Structure 1
Amino acid sequence: MDNQRITIQKEPQHVILQDGRDILSLALLDREDPFKRVVAWNNLPKKQDTQTWDVLKRKWPEATKIIDMGFSDQGEVNLESVLAQQPDIMIAQLRAKPALEQTGVINSLKKLNIPVVFVDYELHPVENTANSVKLLGTVLNQEQRAKEYTDYYQQHLARIQQVAAEVKNKPTVFIEPIAGNTENCCFTHGHNGWGALVEAVGGKNIGSKLLPGSAGFVSMEQIIAMKPDVYIMSGSKRPNPSVLPFGYGGTPQEVNATFSKLLARNTFQNIEPVKEGKVYGVYHHFYNHPYNIVGMEILAKDLYPQKLQGLDPTADYHQIITQFTQIPDDPILLSYAYKKP
């Protein structure tokens, strides 16, 4: 992912996960037990997506004993406690590379002959997700399992991109990640994360046009003036009840109630897609997720509902879980379409 070549002397048996959400990639490869090699990690599922963590630890209870090193994107970590686990390799997110270099973490690991492998599902998700899974398949000696999933991924991506290519007038989209999590409106992504996923399915992302960086706020007045064709909000179950509770254990009734509150925000009714009933919701964590093909399918269906009537993203998510992992196939709520009264 970072154009570096590394040499791995033997198949790694002791792995550090700088971003614990990468356990979902390991679930595609070490299907019987994705935690079996993990000796230290930043348990982000526990912090940010507790329902997913509950599903994982129910299947693999030994995961609760793995040291949680609290490895932030700023490179803050107690390196001694991590090194005490005698790791063979660290898997890290590409977005964290600058901080890991600046804080000396990479250099410290290099001196101990512990290579760092970078993966990416957020900065350039369409270009890098399948390649990241392939890379991990090579590193962990699970090439065939990686290929099985990435073949599926590429086939589904090609389908929705073909539909998008046939649309002449590309829809303009405003996407609000973790809608309702802050008093300020409205937070959005630029060319990365959700912005990149919107662009991958042919949408014109407002955040990409207005933001100088990867994320930031766009005023309600700007959104109204730009007249987006579609407005999308992401969310997941969190302590904040104002956020859309998508994910494992979510119910349509809960999402509908929260959706109504979000639509009642000040001047929100003046946004064009709210007037026209083109407002949608999606599970937030697809913005940085090896199964983000499902997120792209949801977005594509929101943007081209007539052309993709037969597409069932939730069924595809369950297919990924049952065909390519051994994660329990629990009920999950991934999307919502606002129905104008």
Structure 2
Amino acid sequence: MKEETILIRAPITLDRRRALAAGGGLFLALMGAGPARAALDFTDIRGRPIHLDGPARALMIDDSRYLVALSMISPEPIARVAAWPRDLNRLGATNFKRFQARFPAIDGLARVPSSSESFEAEPVLAAMPDVAIFTLNTGPSDAQVALLEAAGIKVVFLDFFTAPFRHQAPSFEILGRLIGREDQAAAFNKFRQQRLDRIAARLAGATGTPPKVFVEVHAGISPECCNSPGKGNVSDYIAFVGGHNIGADVLATTVGRLNLEYVIEAAPDIYVATGGSHLEKAGGLVIGAGYDRERVLSAFRKMAGRPGIAQLGAVTGGRAHGLAHELLNSPLDILAVESLARWIRPDLFADLDPAATMAEINRDFLAIPLDGTYWIDLPPI
């Protein structure tokens, strides 16, 4: 979804770029990735054939959540990153501080536009990556892609956003190949797919009308209600676990605004609010890394107590839930899927344990483990 972007300008560090270019062989040796420059041939998510002489030495990414994805397959997730958008609203202030403490070189990386901004070629050209990763349906035009590639920068489109069930696994696989960590990417894809298959198998024989779900994304980011997903993205998650997103009935895009009157008339069975540290100043739903349960519950009570929202049957009946937005649009979405499944179809998924899944991810995959409150249930009002 399109987030309000926090812009922090950082100087482009020539020494850092030279170190990235010179250090590829050392990195590969340390990471145990095999031959230093084995040729790569694959198709990106836009269906474009890509050829590289070997794993990337310097990546540009247009979304900070790629740092989280990289940290799931490499103990040194920024070792091959030359530039990123510093979109701290997506990464989260606490997570950024953890990256800074663990990998201080992050402060010297060049800044480029995020996928939520208008694309500019100049910062990308100045950063000198050998591979630029862009989010599907955003970023450069075809003419700008040609410009970048004429300068020797390979352009690769991935997608953790528009079609998460169709594109996430192959995108993660490509990311692993780009840094010589395809085995690690394959291991996590298997881990995620096993959990998705378990949910799909239980739903195969489910009957009845899918519960109606109202999702308010970035709850409290502005006084107006209600930002909500339309078709694709979060709506896909809801449908997968057996629910029906009321936003998809009236919004043709992946995200838009619903009138409060429409929400009230739709009478959703379940209310889910997403939030994060980027809503701290706005007084919205703070949830995720660095927040304890009491802080999150206090913020959620405030969101659920707004006129119109407080009167929803989902809120008065104890079917209101909060979810950290940082779990969406990244391989960490399996935690969001399991949480949504428990909320939307408790008759089928009451035994799912996202906390146990998170503990496994922390233990077996993440370079910087998750620590905080990422989902919460609101008691009946």
User: Shared fold by TM > 0.5?
Assistant: yes
**Using a 3 Å threshold, how does the CA distance of structure 1 residues 267 and 46 change in structure 2: closer, same or farther?**
closer
Partner of 1:210: 250
Q: Which runs of 5+ in 2 are unaligned?
A: 1-44
Instruction: Please tell me whether the aligned partners of residues 235 and 283 of structure 1 are also in contact (alpha carbons under 8 angstroms).
Output: yes
Q: Secondary structure at the match of 2:120?
A: coil
Residues 111-140 of structure 1, C-alpha deviations (whole Å, 9 max, x = no match): 123211111111001111111111122232
Structure 1 residue 245 displacement after superposition? 1.4
Q: Alignment partner for residue 199 of structure 2, among 148, 160, 172?
A: 160
Provide the rounded CA distance (Å) in 2 between the counterparts of 1:324 and 1:193.
24
Provide the rounded CA distance (Å) in 2 between the counterparts of 1:315 and 1:54.
25
Instruction: Please tell me whether the aligned partners of residues 172 and 228 of structure 1 are also in contact (alpha carbons under 8 angstroms).
Output: yes
Provide the rounded CA distance (Å) in 1 between the counterparts of 2:205 and 2:220.
34
Q: Alignment partner for residue 327 of structure 2, among 286, 290, 313?
A: 286
Matched, 1:86 2:125: no
Provide the rounded CA distance (Å) in 1 between the counterparts of 2:50 and 2:191.
28
Provide the rounded CA distance (Å) in 1 between the counterparts of 2:90 and 2:203.
35
Residues 160-214 of structure 1, C-alpha deviations (whole Å, 9 max, x = no match): 2223333312111110011111111111011233222212212111111111222
Q: Secondary structure at the match of 2:49?
A: coil
Residues 64-101 of structure 1, C-alpha deviations (whole Å, 9 max, x = no match): 1111223454443362x4334432111111131xx411
TM-score (norm 1): 0.92
Amino acid of the structure 2 residue aligned with 1:41: W
Instruction: Please tell me whether the aligned partners of residues 248 and 330 of structure 1 are also in contact (alpha carbons under 8 angstroms).
Output: yes
Partner of 1:304: 345
Partner of 1:321: 362
Amino acid of the structure 1 residue aligned with 2:77: P
Instruction: Please tell me whether the aligned partners of residues 128 and 153 of structure 2 are also in contact (alpha carbons under 8 angstroms).
Output: no
Provide the rounded CA distance (Å) in 2 between the counterparts of 1:234 and 1:71.
21
Partner of 2:270: 230
Matched, 1:268 2:309: yes
Q: Secondary structure at the match of 1:228?
A: coil
Instruction: Please tell me whether the aligned partners of residues 217 and 227 of structure 2 are also in contact (alpha carbons under 8 angstroms).
Output: yes
Instruction: Please tell me whether the aligned partners of residues 227 and 272 of structure 1 are also in contact (alpha carbons under 8 angstroms).
Output: yes
> CA-atom RMSD, angstroms?
1.9
Structure 1 residue 240 displacement after superposition? 2.7
Partner of 2:111: 68
Structure 1 residue 253 displacement after superposition? 1.1
Structure 1 residue 269 displacement after superposition? 3.1
Provide the rounded CA distance (Å) in 2 between the counterparts of 1:85 and 1:263.
44
Partner of 2:63: 19
Matched, 1:245 2:286: yes
Amino acid of the structure 1 residue aligned with 2:201: Q
Matched, 1:174 2:214: yes
Structure 1 residue 45 displacement after superposition? 3.2
Equivalent residue runs for 1:54-133 within 5 Å: 54-77=97-120, 79=122, 81-96=123-138, 99-101=139-141, 104-133=143-172
Q: Alignment partner for residue 84 of structure 2, among 6, 29, 41?
A: 41
Provide the rounded CA distance (Å) in 2 between the counterparts of 1:203 and 1:192.
14
Partner of 2:188: 149
TM-score (norm 2): 0.83
Provide the rounded CA distance (Å) in 2 between the counterparts of 1:75 and 1:131.
26
Provide the rounded CA distance (Å) in 2 between the counterparts of 1:18 and 1:287.
16
Amino acid of the structure 2 residue aligned with 1:137: G
Partner of 2:96: 53
Partner of 1:3: 47
**Using a 3 Å threshold, how does the CA distance of structure 1 residues 45 and 318 change in structure 2: closer, same or farther?**
farther
**Using a 3 Å threshold, how does the CA distance of structure 1 residues 204 and 72 change in structure 2: closer, same or farther?**
closer
Provide the rounded CA distance (Å) in 2 between the counterparts of 1:94 and 1:72.
9
Instruction: Please tell me whether the aligned partners of residues 21 and 43 of structure 1 are also in contact (alpha carbons under 8 angstroms).
Output: no
Structure 1 residue 335 displacement after superposition? 0.6
Residues 33-72 of structure 1, C-alpha deviations (whole Å, 9 max, x = no match): 0100111111223676111111222211111111122345
**Using a 3 Å threshold, how does the CA distance of structure 1 residues 221 and 86 change in structure 2: closer, same or farther?**
closer
- Judge which range, 68-77 or 180-189, deviates more: 68-77
**Using a 3 Å threshold, how does the CA distance of structure 1 residues 166 and 276 change in structure 2: closer, same or farther?**
farther
Amino acid of the structure 2 residue aligned with 1:67: A
